[in-house]
């Protein structure tokens, strides 16, 4: 469970951030719980009395107890260095004051959804709670599959077979579109018809890969050198 707090005295901003978070939660296997606060005093009481939050989007220009004071309370009074703080403001004049509270980021109003999502992802990475999913269609339903459980994809004409640790799943689509989305998650093509998950490769042979489910995946002659370089680069990274 990843717990996110939103503290802003403007209802429109609170609702906007909450909407972005809830939409993003559909794309990650990690459950996200959102807590909304209207004042600095409210979030301080919550964090003092209940389980700590993982990430806080904190408005600086709060009435009474402002965002800088809230951050100071979290760091100094609660001795909480684990929670990631993202300050939110329409002004740029606070940078120097924010340094002591060790924020993860500063977001400028009006907010851009892509930056809110990047901050959620970064906070999840720092907390070790990052979980990614692959979305695909079956009929009218949108389904989710954790990336860590996908072994490989195989193109079968108009359909794609997705081999997972539990079962094989077929859905309509183009392997090229899947490749474009997943290449940043250490999936790579070995052949025009195959896309594999590096984390499930257990053996590399000259013309084939052995996957964790014992299936042999062919490596085309054109892809052989590229596949070798990809595997070596991931090994050097200690993946």
Same domain, 172 and 223: yes
- pLDDT top residue among 31 and 23: 23
What pLDDT digit, counting tens, does each position of 61-84 carry?
Answer: 998 999 999 999 999 999 898 899
Which tens digit of pLDDT belongs to each residue from 134-178? 889 888 888 888 888 999 999 999 999 999 999 999 999 999 999
Answer yes or no: do 145 and 227 share one domain.
Answer: yes
Measured CA distances, 40 to 47, 64, 69, 193, 197 (Å): 11, 8, 8, 55, 45
Q: Which of 168, 94, 186, 93 is nearest to 85 (CA)?
A: 94
Claim to verify: residue 35 and residue 113 sit in the same structural domain? yes
62-92: b or e for each residue (b if 16 or more CB lie within 10 Å)? beebbbbbbbebbbeeeeeeebbbbbbbeee
Residues 6+ apart with CB under 8 A from 227: 188, 190, 204, 209, 219
At residue 205, the pLDDT reads 83
Could you say which of 127, 149, 176 is where a domain stops? 127
CA–CA distance, 103 with 197 (Å, rounded to integer)? 35
- Do residues 122 and 7 both lie within one domain? yes
Residues 13 and 56 both lie in one domain: yes
The angle formed by the CA atoms of residues 51, 56 and 57, to the nearest 5 degrees, is 155
Residues 161 and 98 in one domain: no
Distance of CA 12 to the CA centre of its chain: 25
How far is residue 159's CA from residue 77's CA, in Å, rounded to a whole number? 57
What integer is the mean pLDDT of 174-184? Answer: 90
Q: Which residues contact residue 99 at a Cβ distance below 8 angstroms, ignoring those fewer than 6 apart? A: none
Q: What percent of the chain has pLDDT over 70?
A: 92
Distance CA 227, CA 111 (A): 41
Cβ atoms of 147 and 135 within 8 Å: the answer is: no
Return the pLDDT at 183: 86
193 and 151 assigned to the same domain:
yes
Going by pLDDT thresholds of 50, 70 and 90, the confidence category of residue 131 is low
Q: Over the stretch 215-227, which tens digit does the pLDDT of each residue have?
A: 999 999 999 999 9
pTM greater than 0.75: no
Q: Alpha-carbon distance 219 to 230, whole Å? A: 13
CATH number of the CATH domain containing 112 = 3.40.50.2300
- Identify which has the larger pLDDT, 92 or 197: 197
State residue 51's pLDDT score.
76
Q: State the chain's maximal CA–CA distance in angstroms.
A: 68
- Range of weakest confidence among 32-46, 132-146, 191-205: 132-146
pLDDT score at 93: 62
Coil, strand, or helix at residue 113? Answer: helix
Return d(Cα 20, Cα 113) in angstroms, integer: 6
End residue of a domain, out of 127, 151, 167: 127
Spatial strand order of the sheet with 208-211 comes to: 201-204, 208-211, 216-218
* Residue 179, pLDDT above cutoff 60: yes
Q: How many domains does the chain have?
A: 2
How far is C-alpha 231 from the geometric centre of its chain's CA atoms? Answer: 24
Across 155-164, 199-208, 224-233, which has the greatest mean pLDDT?
Answer: 155-164
* Chosen domain end from 70, 103, 127: 127
* Residue-range definition of the domain harbouring residue 22: 2-127
Residues 116 and 214 reside in one and the same domain: no
Do both 123 and 137 map to the same domain?
no
Q: What are the strands, taking DSSP E only, across the chain? A: 2-7, 32-37, 55-59, 84-89, 105-108, 133-138, 141-146, 150-156, 159-164, 168-172, 187-191, 194-197, 201-204, 208-211, 216-218
pLDDT recorded at residue 91 = 79
What pLDDT does residue 173 have?
A: 94
């Amino acid at each position: 469970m990843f717990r996110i707090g939103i503290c802003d005295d403007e209802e429109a901003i609170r609702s906007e951030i909450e909407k972005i978070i809830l939409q993003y939660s559909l794309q990650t296997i990690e459950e996200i719980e959102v807590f909304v606060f209207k004042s600095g005093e409210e979030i301080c009481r919550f964090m003092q009395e209940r389980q700590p939050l993982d990430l806080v989007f904190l408005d600086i220009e709060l009435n009474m107890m402002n965002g800088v004071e809230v951050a100071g309370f979290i760091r100094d009074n609660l001795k909480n260095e684990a929670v990631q703080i993202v300050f939110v403001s329409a002004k740029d004049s606070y940078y120097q004051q924010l340094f002591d509270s060790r924020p993860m980021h500063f977001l400028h109003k009006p907010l851009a959804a892509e930056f809110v999502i990047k901050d959620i992802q970064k906070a999840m990475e720092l907390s070790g709670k990052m979980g990614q999913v692959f979305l695909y269609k079956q009929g009218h339903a949108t389904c989710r599959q954790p990336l860590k459980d996908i072994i490989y994809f195989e193109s079968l004409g108009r359909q794609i077979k997705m081999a997972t640790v539990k079962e094989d799943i077929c859905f309509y689509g183009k392997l090229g579109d899947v490749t474009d989305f997943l290449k940043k998650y250490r999936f790579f093509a070995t052949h025009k018809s195959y896309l594999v998950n590096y984390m499930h490769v257990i053996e590399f042979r000259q013309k084939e890969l052995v996957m964790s489910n014992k299936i042999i995946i062919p490596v085309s002659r054109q892809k052989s050198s590229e596949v070798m370089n990809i595997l070596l680069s991931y090994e050097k990274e200690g993946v």
